[in-house]
A and B are shown apart, each in its own frame.
Chain A
């Protein structure tokens, strides 16, 4: 069975059929980003003056201060805690090392409503203080800019913590010894050597935090703190103006693009690989500092996880006793789980196909398609909801016109844009990157030499896929599915804006109850979301233990 070895010269300049697969997967992202970015070039004269006068000034300054505050606090918390658990030795270090990731499981909107429920004027903490210290407001109002900055920081710092910790772990103590050998003490060593070396990673983590903050909808909604995302939502449901929403979204996308560009630039700078020094030998802190380290880690863990989770459990328990575990609750839960499973499955398959497209046709255009397809992780859900809705509505209207023309009065009425399609496509764009990354990491392990050695042993085609590729990709596919599933369970803005009428998921239920101030009723669905959210924390912990 001889094969023709020479490839046609065109193959080198034009991409092959696998490029079309990559393009098809990237298409929703291209459309969404294109539609929204395009809106910024054609300001709408009807809504623009209104937005400019009443909405934008407040919303932009709110967004700006929120992002800045969260970025600063997460940098300090993430880096400091990472340094403590990676390089220093103090009581409980081994447990804190992974426990400090637990806040990842609590979405901002859950921590937000728990904090408000606990600390507002009518809440138990202030009530307790009044009882002991007399009447008056004993705490600054929680529903404030400072309040939401602290709450978001406590849920987002693990992004910085995770990357900073792995940077410090790979540097190891060797770096500090170098600093000490030229006469710096360990504190100076941290600022002169360890921190500058880890800076590209830390900055990358902070950029992720900034993206999440820009994308956040649920937390700011709980706090009634108007940012671009809530403005988009209100334009959508309050003004019923797709144009105004589109215009605001284009602003948000502009900000996101700047952050993405910064992040990409930082990533190229973080390319050098420091050698691994043996773990185990950490800095032994003095007695005072030892307990200071313990107190710092303990306080953050207490505020970000233990207290809110306990409160959540208490509320949920009261709700259960009051009959909260009724059929309605199981209805939301089932809707959430079935929707997330379906979407996660679709997204994982898309990630697998995208990876094969990029592997089998390593043409620059395929890689560009892959990059765009995975850019959606930076796009806020509110933006994607509009970005997918608008082109689908357009396609729908064209089809409807065609049907009306063909069948006149008997034509069936279409409503593509309000169906499941918008929601699933927006999910795909938003979470493809989450699923792509673990699959890509596993794909790298299947080196060309592995493929060749398998062929030499007489195994090729489907047999090679079944016996070598699939088993080697299995953990990556499972991780991809699990991570996408959890993110989908937590997802709020896309679901809110694009769900078919009457669809209620756990996250939607939390939103509805918290906007009415019904903390206790929101606790049970929130609890379910947090428990599911613990899954990726376990995966991350296992992975970082593997690294260390």
Chain B
């Protein structure tokens, strides 16, 4: 099922919580809303589920409007599946009964069959008669997902589904869930504040801030071509340094960055986003910078480099290039995507 939001506005006590949200998820795609807490991402989810009315704009599934100003199809009639942050398993029912709970439209024999089938497909066959409080966090999460998926919803909503799990389990489950959803072809929208989670699950990611959708794009585009300073700042690491537009490139303290100057007037001062992978370590390079901090990360080391002009840079270097703090190392610029923003004050902000 295709999901479309068209300029959705939501307000609480005259304060606009959502200021015109628009995006589209195609059949079978997994979308994700990413943003700091309080940015309104959960409100978007609740508007789609039908728990919150919209003040303006529309929520459309396939070609049917399910929410509009003064018009809300009740949640129980939408046929949308949802997994809540705390899983909300019913404590007085065992696992099988929890999954059967949402299958009340089926006759009882089929109900049982479908529930067992769904549980089996998620590796939960041996926990059918166990009560929720006896399950581990990861198992509870899977049961919640099984309960939401068993009625075969055309659209699935996940509200911070992994936030109560520890980080290793979170990573493993997110990959498992993606495979499962892709296999079933379930259109999904998830909400999270964890970008690794978003990257590992979603086809398309929307970055939200203060009730606005900043950018709706693939992870690759968000990282390498952020639409604005906030997205650049929020997604991945990087620093913003100032540069001057020249013909064929932008000159920064370290040298000339090729490309990115096509639409800019030569001579303009701009801010340039430098990702750790835009700086390449090269022992032969004449250009050097001092190591002022290093963070060992296993396969690679993230160096924070200090330039003579006072700017900081990040460089991601394979881990066998082990340099000491204070040492000067050779670097080279190698940026495939030169991202510039109009000059904003005179700040040097490593993120």
State yes or no: do A and B come from one complex.
Answer: yes
- Residues from chain A with Cβ under 8 Å of B70 in the complex: 4-6
Report if A270 contacts B (CB, 8 A).
no
Q: Which residue numbers of B lie inside 8 Å of A, CB to CB?
A: 49, 51, 53, 70-82, 84-86, 88, 90-93, 101-102, 104-105, 147-148, 151
Q: Which residue numbers of A lie inside 8 Å of B, CB to CB?
A: 1-6, 445, 447, 449-450, 452-460, 463, 467-468, 471-472, 474
Q: Would you give the shortest CB distance from B328 to chain A, in whole angstroms? A: 48
A457 to B104, CA, bound (A): 9
Partner of A453, one of B77, B84, B92: B84
- Residues from chain A with Cβ under 8 Å of B85 in the complex: 449
Q: Would you give the shortest CB distance from A458 to chain B, in whole angstroms? A: 5
Q: Would you give the shortest CB distance from A303 to chain B, in whole angstroms? A: 41
Closest 5 CB pairs of A and B: A5-B53, A457-B102, A453-B88, A471-B92, A449-B88
Nearest residue, chain B, Cβ from A467: B101
Asked whether, in the complex, the Cβ of A1 is within 8 Å of the Cβ of B101, the reply is no
Asked whether, in the complex, the Cβ of B88 is within 8 Å of the Cβ of A447, the reply is yes
Asked whether, in the complex, the Cβ of A453 is within 8 Å of the Cβ of B82, the reply is yes
| Chain B contact residues, majority secondary structure | loop
A454 to B91, CA, bound (A): 13
Q: A5-B70, A472-B91 are in contact. Are A447 and B76 (CB under 8 A)?
A: no
Can you add 8 more A-B contacts, CB < 8 Å, to A447-B88, A472-B92?
A449-B85, A452-B84, A452-B88, A453-B84, A456-B80, A457-B101, A459-B102, A463-B104
A459 to B148, CA, bound (A): 13
26 contacts between A and B (CB under 8 A): A1-B74, A1-B77, A2-B72, A3-B72, A3-B74, A4-B70, A5-B70, A5-B71, A5-B72, A447-B86, A447-B88, A449-B85, A452-B51, A452-B82, A452-B84, A456-B81, A457-B101, A458-B77, A458-B102, A458-B104, A458-B105, A458-B151, A459-B102, A471-B93, A472-B90, A472-B91
- Counted as pairs of residues, one from A and one from B, with CB atoms less than 8 Å apart, the total is 74
- Residues from chain A with Cβ under 8 Å of B90 in the complex: 450, 454, 468, 472
Nearest residue, chain A, Cβ from B144: A453
- Residues from chain A with Cβ under 8 Å of B77 in the complex: 1, 458
- Residues from chain B with Cβ under 8 Å of A3 in the complex: 72, 74
Q: Would you give the shortest CB distance from B202 to chain A, in whole angstroms? A: 21
Q: Would you give the shortest CB distance from A463 to chain B, in whole angstroms? A: 8
Q: Would you give the shortest CB distance from B15 to chain A, in whole angstroms? A: 15
Q: Would you give the shortest CB distance from A457 to chain B, in whole angstroms? A: 3
Asked whether, in the complex, the Cβ of A452 is within 8 Å of the Cβ of B74, the reply is no
- Residues from chain B with Cβ under 8 Å of A455 in the complex: 74-76
Asked whether, in the complex, the Cβ of A460 is within 8 Å of the Cβ of B74, the reply is yes
Partner of A452, one of B73, B75, B101, B151: B75
A445 to B88, CA, bound (A): 10
A407 to B148, CA, bound (A): 68
Partner of A456, one of B71, B76, B105: B76
- Residues from chain A with Cβ under 8 Å of B71 in the complex: 2, 5
- Residues from chain B with Cβ under 8 Å of A6 in the complex: 53, 70
- Residues from chain B with Cβ under 8 Å of A456 in the complex: 49, 75-76, 78, 80-82, 148
Q: A458-B105, A468-B90, A472-B91 are in contact. Are A449 and B84 (CB under 8 A)?
A: yes
A461 to B73, CA, bound (A): 16
- Residues from chain B with Cβ under 8 Å of A449 in the complex: 84-86, 88
- Residues from chain A with Cβ under 8 Å of B73 in the complex: 1-2
Asked whether, in the complex, the Cβ of A459 is within 8 Å of the Cβ of B76, the reply is yes
Looking at A449, A463, A472, the one whose CB has the most chain B CB atoms below 10 A away is A449
Q: A4-B70, A453-B82, A467-B101 are in contact. Are A458 and B88 (CB under 8 A)?
A: no
Nearest residue, chain B, Cβ from A451: B88
- Residues from chain B with Cβ under 8 Å of A447 in the complex: 86, 88
Nearest residue, chain A, Cβ from B73: A2
Q: Would you give the shortest CB distance from B133 to chain A, in whole angstroms? A: 11
- Residues from chain B with Cβ under 8 Å of A459 in the complex: 76, 101-102, 104
- Residues from chain A with Cβ under 8 Å of B88 in the complex: 447, 449-450, 452-453
